């Protein structure tokens, strides 16, 4: 009799337990499952792409979302040095000379709040699904595929999620998508730069040369500043030419420029100003100044080595285009200036 009672009680409780379990599991899920990445890209990216990227966003009716996608691409591709300018296009037309075109098609979006029972934490997961196609200036597809952009917050409890926090996570998912778009391009740019570094020749010169790299002027209408990055590249590449090429410490150059009150553009410094600056740089036998100009054909860099009185010793101009243009231009400039200086000293 007691067995029959127990069986009847179990039969009554079973659906109640199932209902309770379903209530508990409502809103629960796995963070791993929610962040499944469907990114798949194919193609081989050449290094000879134009320095301007045109971006077209399709299948998006929300103007704010279109602008958010463009801004994420601009941050990743321009600030990361892959392109000098990103501009939107809205019509189907041939790619402009000296440019590349990135076509982005919206394929879906979601935002999910969940509680992961295994990790025992709240999570907010925002995701965007995008199809992309990158075309070169001959209108040929060089990269294509699907991108999943993910933004995740596992710190904030659901009760404390504000609208501003949700927006941050949403924008982070677009930044993640842009980063995944640029990954293949960045790999191509880095590969090109490393190849150029590997073939830099050894350039021996009588005596040692102490060079103070003052910097490179950007054009006043430049959309992105390249001077600082060129300064860094030149400082690290000159010593690769051989033991005779010595670089004055960057902090010593900065301190000297402050003491000499140098605020004007560097390329056109007067001999008087150069001489005053050199007085604070006893380790420098020469000073390097340069300028950068961006044109549709690529990056143009001019460098001049000055003696301590401000008199020009040698001048060299280089041009580089495509992915990795900046480090390539820096390597060409260092090699060209060094070869011209060696030739000048050999004649003496």
The span from the CA of 330 to the CA of 320, in Å, is: 9
Q: Which residue has the higher pLDDT, 20 or 91?
A: 91
- Angle, to 10 degrees, between the axis of helix 63-79 and the axis of helix 163-198? 30
d(CA 108, CA 129): 5
Q: How many CA atoms lie within 13 A of 216 on its CB side?
A: 27
Q: Is residue 16 part of a domain?
A: no
The proportion of the chain whose per-residue pLDDT surpasses 70, expressed as a percent, equals 87
**Which pLDDT score is estimated for 134?**
92
If you search the block for the tokens 């999570």, which residue do you land on?
A: 123
Cβ contacts of 345 within 8 Å, gap of 6 or more = 205, 206
Match 């959309």 to its residue by tokens: 223
Whether 73 and 209 share a structural domain: no
Residue with tokens 């900065």: 254
Are 245 and 309 in the same domain?
yes
Domain co-membership, 314 together with 177? no
Would 18 be classed as within a structural domain?
Answer: no
Is 217 a member of any domain? Answer: yes
Mean of pLDDT values over 235-256: 95
Compute, in degrees rounded to 10, the torsion defined by CA atoms 341, 345, 347, 348.
150
Q: pLDDT tens across 246-255, in order?
A: 999 999 999 9
Q: Looking at the domain assignment, is residue 128 inside a domain? A: yes
Are 282 and 319 within one domain? yes
Q: Is 70 exceeded by the pLDDT of residue 285? A: yes
Structural domains in the chain (count): 2
Strands 121-135 and 99-116: antiparallel
* Residue 2 placed within a domain: no
- Is 252 inside a domain boundary? yes
CA 283 remoteness from chain centre:
34
Please state the rounded mean pLDDT for residues 233-243.
95
For the chain, how long is the longest CA-to-CA vector? 118
Final residue of a structural domain among 137, 164, 195? 195
Domain extent for 189: 27-195
- Rounded CA gap, 237 and 245, in Å? 10
Encode pLDDT of 123-169 as tens digits.
Answer: 889 999 999 999 888 888 889 999 999 999 888 888 888 999 999 99
Residue range 42-66, pLDDT digits in tens: 988 887 787 788 999 998 888 999 9
Least confident among 6-20, 265-279, 306-320: 6-20
In a domain, 100, yes or no: yes
Q: Do residue 150 and residue 249 come from a single domain?
A: no
Does the pLDDT value for residue 14 go beyond 60? no
The CATH number given to whatever domain includes residue 328 is: 3.40.50.10070
**Radius of gyration of the chain from its Cα atoms, rounded to whole angstroms:** 29
- pLDDT, the chain, mean: 86
Q: Are residues 271 and 142 in the same domain?
A: no
- Domain identity same for 189 and 59: yes
Q: Are residues 186 and 210 in the same domain?
A: no
How confident is the model over 197-220, as a mean pLDDT? 91
């Amino acid at each position: 009799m007691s067995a029959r009672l127990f069986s009847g009680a179990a039969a009554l409780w079973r659906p109640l337990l199932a209902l309770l379990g379903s209530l508990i599991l409502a809103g629960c899920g796995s963070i791993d499952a929610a962040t499944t990445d469907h990114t798949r890209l194919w193609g081989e990216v050449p290094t000879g792409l134009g320095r301007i990227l045109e971006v077209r966003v399709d299948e998006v009716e929300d103007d704010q979302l279109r602008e958010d996608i463009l801004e994420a691409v601009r941050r990743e591709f321009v600030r990361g040095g892959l392109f000098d300018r990103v501009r939107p296009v809205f019509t189907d037309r041939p790619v402009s000379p000296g440019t590349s075109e990135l076509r982005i098609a919206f394929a879906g979006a979601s935002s999910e709040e969940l509680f992961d029972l295994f990790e025992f934490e709240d999570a907010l997961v925002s995701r965007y699904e995008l199809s992309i196609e990158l075309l070169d200036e001959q209108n040929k597809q060089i990269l294509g595929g699907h991108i999943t952009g993910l933004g995740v917050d596992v710190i904030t409890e659901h009760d404390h999620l504000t609208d501003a926090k949700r927006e941050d996570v949403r924008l982070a998912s677009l930044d993640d998508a842009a980063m995944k778009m640029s990954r293949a391009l960045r790999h191509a740019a880095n590969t090109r730069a490393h190849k150029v570094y590997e073939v830099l020749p050894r350039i021996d010169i009588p005596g040692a040369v102490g060079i103070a790299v003052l910097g490179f002027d950007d054009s006043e209408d430049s959309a992105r500043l390249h001077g600082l990055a060129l300064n860094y590249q030149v400082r690290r590449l000159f010593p690769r030419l051989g033991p005779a090429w010595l670089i004055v410490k960057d902090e010593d150059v900065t301190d000297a420029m402050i003491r000499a009150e140098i605020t004007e553009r560097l390329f056109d410094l007067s001999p008087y100003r150069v001489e005053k600056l050199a007085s604070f740089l006893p380790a420098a036998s020469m000073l390097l100044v340069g300028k950068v100009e961006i044109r549709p054909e690529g990056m143009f860099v001019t460098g001049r080595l000055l003696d301590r009185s401000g008199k020009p010793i040698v001048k060299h101009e280089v041009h580089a285009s495509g992915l990795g243009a900046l480090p390539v231009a820096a390597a060409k400039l260092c090699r060209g200036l060094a070869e011209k200086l060696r030739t000048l000293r050999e004649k003496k």
